[in-house]
Structures are given as structure tokens and as C-alpha cells.
Structure 1
Amino acid sequence: MATSKLVKPHTPHPTPHTLLPPKNFLPQTLVMAQIAYGWTPAEIHINHRDLSMSQIHSALAYYWEHREELDQAIQADLEFAQKMREKAGDSPFVTRLKAQAIK
């Protein structure tokens, strides 16, 4: 029996740290955009034209297959960002506004 030339060898599943070419997006980056803005895959494509619709759908499908793991990665990213905001403190601009009693 002859094998089809279209059959590709098995490739391992991506991990939460798998990057989507060409912008090197993590799958959770697209998921966070979908959650934050309520974007559909088509709207994600409008805002990320360098990703194909198949890449977007693949990333979203991967999220649903590995939701618990990716939700943990997203939460860790959010916690890290919060720690960095606290560590950085107020910007000079915010400090000047506070000095002027402008909030």
C-alpha cells in the first residue's frame, strides 16, 4: 500500500510556552486578548494581521485543551506584572500630580 505524500510525520503538541510565528506570540496572549476585549477570532485577526486564522484557531483550541495549565500561566503572568508595578512605584508624572493634589 502506497502512503500519501500529504501525510506529515507526527509532531509533538505545543506547550504553553510554544510560540506562534511570525510574532512569537504565546497562545495565552491571544486568549488574554479574547478575554479582555471579548474579541472573536476574526477580530483577533484584524488586530494581529501577521497571524493566520488557522494559527489563531489553533491557539484558541490549544487553550481549551489545556485550559487549567494555561490559566495558571496567565495568573502567574498577572501576579508578576502586579509585583513589578508595586516595585516600580509611582512614575515621576504621577508623583507631580499627587503633589498638586490632582488625582
Structure 2
Amino acid sequence: MIAAEPTTHIRLDKRGVAWVDDTKVKVIEVILDHLAYGHSADEIHLQHPHLSLAQVHAALAYYYDHQAELEAELEQRRRGVAALQQKAGASFSRKTLNARLKRA
């Protein structure tokens, strides 16, 4: 019989942010692919070949185990983006940027 060492593939940093082990990928980044595009674990693995399928499944499992807190973080990010968009207003519209490029 082969003894297997359990692994979670997820680590928390000092701030409590969940990362996929041995990578520079946050769990929430994997989750965004799942939520935004409806990608399955296999599809996420194809999009991120540097992640093992086990790491992708671990990130999804972590999300479902901590769904409320991760959803709160996503909502906080959405509010932050909306605030930045409102603050920027029309100053960063495509039309304004094109006009600036033509003047330069």
C-alpha cells in the first residue's frame, strides 16, 4: 500500500489571502474564470496550463468552502471599480483618449 500525503494546494498569506500553492495565482483569480465565463475545472486548466488540474479543483473547493467571504471580496472589488469609473468620468473615454493621441 502506498502512503499518500494529503495536500490542499492552497496556502494563505499573512493577510489571509488564499493562493494556489507554488504559484503566483490567487484563488480568487481562478474563481473569476469560473464565475465570469462558466468555465469548468477542465476549461480553467486549459486556460491556465501552469496550474495542475488538482490545483484548479483545490481552488474551486476552497471557493465553495469559503463562498460567503469570497463573494464579499468580489463585491468589494466591484464597488471599488465602480467608484474609480465614476471618479474618472469621461476623462478616460475612448473619444477623449483618441483626441489626446492626435494632439501628441
Give me the TM-score of the superposition, normalised by structure 1: 0.70
Rounded to whole Å, the distance in 2 between the matches of 1:26 and 1:96 is 32
Unaligned runs of 5+ in 2: 99-104
The list of structure 1 runs, each at least 4 consecutive aligned residues, that deviate by more than 6 angstroms after superposition, is none
Map of 2:33 onto structure 1: 33
Map of 1:93 onto structure 2: 94
Distance change >3 Å, CA 96–CA 75, structure 1 → 2: closer
Rounded to whole Å, the distance in 2 between the matches of 1:45 and 1:7 is 23
Distance change >3 Å, CA 36–CA 7, structure 1 → 2: closer
Range 60-69 or range 86-95, more displaced: 86-95
Identical aligned residues as a percent: 26
Rounded to whole Å, the distance in 2 between the matches of 1:7 and 1:60 is 20
Aligned length: 91
Map of 1:61 onto structure 2: 61
CA distances 1:6-49 after superposition (whole Å, capped 9, x unpaired): 557x99x7456122242x22212211211111101111111111
Could you say what secondary structure the match of 2:25 adopts?
coil
CA RMSD of aligned residues (A): 2.8
Shift of 1:60: 0.4
Give me the TM-score of the superposition, normalised by structure 2: 0.70
Q: Which has the larger radius of gyration?
A: 1
Give the number of the structure whose residues are more often strand, by fraction.
Answer: 2
Give the number of the structure whose residues are more often helix, by fraction.
Answer: 2
CA distances 1:53-85 after superposition (whole Å, capped 9, x unpaired): 111100100111111111101111111111112
